[in-house]
Amino acid sequence: MEKMKVALLNPMVPHYREEFFKLLSSYVDLDIYTYQNQYSKKNFKISDLSVKSLKSLLFFKKRFLLFSITPFLFKRYHTIILMLHFGHISTWLLLLLKVFHRKKIILWGQGISVKRYMEEERKPNLLLKQMIRMADGVWLYTEKERDQWKAIFPNKKIVALNNTISGVGEILGAKNSHLDRQKLKEKYKIVHQTCFIFCARFDNPHRRVDLLVNSIKDLDSSVYGFIIIGEGQFKPDFSSYPNVYDFGSVYDKQIKDELFEVADIYYQPGWVGLSVVEAMAYGKPILTYKRSEEVLQCVEYDYIKDHVNGILLADSDDFKERVPLLSDSEISAMGRNSKEFVRRKLTMKSMVENALSIMAI
């Protein structure tokens, strides 16, 4: 049976999205088009997956995008997958021309705007609403987003992909080596009883690194250690803190596996995104701050359930009060719940099946 021919648009293909596209390509004949193929950003790893570059133009302070629509009009494509972004002028044009090109259009909502989340959670954007009305279907990242839009468009084909990362199955399938934990601590010269781990790029001020530094200062430095993985322009100098183990950028899987094995809790104060999926797959509870206008959080924040697979903190005082009260059994239980949540909801197979469910293959 001949596979359905599908064209898909993305800014670029980051390494964490590669497995999704490869697995999706085993079900459909997929062509990936990018408009930032030469995208380069320090500390950001780009996939070497084969893509087709589009001519594009960003304008008005990079808020609006024009890209060539010609490839998407090719007769061979049955379905085209575009981004749910009201600033993509060419997407509006393809939606308006549906009556002529007669292709199915799925819009991929790659997260509610983090900076506008508090507002959009209460009142969905009118332009996005119109785009969804014109589309045949919608991919969204989380069940919370899906439920929000389904309440407005109950008959529209809208699915939650349950956004995840490449390699998550490998992390889930790895054999835990808790018996060797002490040896791993010795290997990396980690002496602290309880260890937090932070693993993300320091490329965004909204990660609230100030809260991370305050936490390092506030806890007993003889008991609590902090493992840091990541680089970036907003990274502070951790060299003066005796309880910080700074490993910089780590792309060696074995090293990362071992550092997560040593750690007890994943801690990222703000802007939590796909990094929490990785941490949960490793069986770590997530410690972060409640979403607010001061602490912005990405859509994956909704994977964290307070006291189930993590702790949602109100402020720094809450951190100082609650963390010392956490028992080893509580930490272990939340870690198991994290891993089970990923196993049930966030495998790559599940994400692809969710995507295919509205493509009428």
Stated pTM of the model: 0.89
Integer Rg of the chain from CA: 22
Average pLDDT on 243-255 reads 95
Alpha-carbon distances, residue 246 vs 75, 101, 210, 273, 330 (angstroms): 53, 54, 16, 21, 27
Q: What is the pLDDT of residue 262?
A: 96
Give the pLDDT confidence score for residue 179 in this predicted structure. 54
Asked if domains 5-164+347-356 and 168-345 share a fold, the reply is yes
pLDDT at residue 111, rounded to an integer? 64
Scan for tokens 């995008």, then name that residue. Answer: 65
CATH class of the structural domain 168-345: alpha beta
Alpha helices in the chain (DSSP H): 18-24, 89-96, 98-101, 117-122, 126-134, 143-152, 168-173, 181-187, 209-218, 253-262, 275-281, 316-322, 328-345, 348-356
Domain regions of the chain by residue span: 5-164+347-356, 168-345
d(CA 157, CA 132): 10
Residues 6+ apart with CB under 8 A from 79: 4, 5, 6, 7, 28, 103, 104, 105, 106, 359
The whole-number pLDDT of residue 42 equals 46
Cα separations in angstroms, 121 against 146, 148, 211, 356, 361:
12, 8, 25, 26, 32
Whose tokens are 């490993």? That residue is 247
183 vs 301: CA distance, rounded Å: 33
The neighbour count for residue 155, using CB atoms within 10 Å, is 6
**261 C-beta neighbours (distance < 10 Å), count:** 18
> Please, what is the Cα angle at 42 between 55 and 36, to 5 degrees?
10
The band of 15, judged by pLDDT with boundaries at 50, 70 and 90, is confident
CB 162 within 8 A of CB 303: no
Neighbour count for residue 287 (Cβ, 10 Å): 27
CATH code: domain 5-164+347-356 is 3.40.50.2000
What pLDDT, on a 0 to 100 scale, did the predictor assign at position 173? 82
Give the pLDDT of residue 175.
Answer: 65
Residue 352 reports pLDDT greater than 90: yes
Confidence of residue 232 (pLDDT cuts 50, 70, 90): very high
pLDDT at 39: 47
The yes-or-no verdict on residue 361 having pLDDT over 80 is no
Contacts with 75 (C-beta within 8 Å, 6 or more apart), sequence order? none
Dist. CA 231–CA 127, nearest whole Å = 36
pLDDT of residue 43: 44
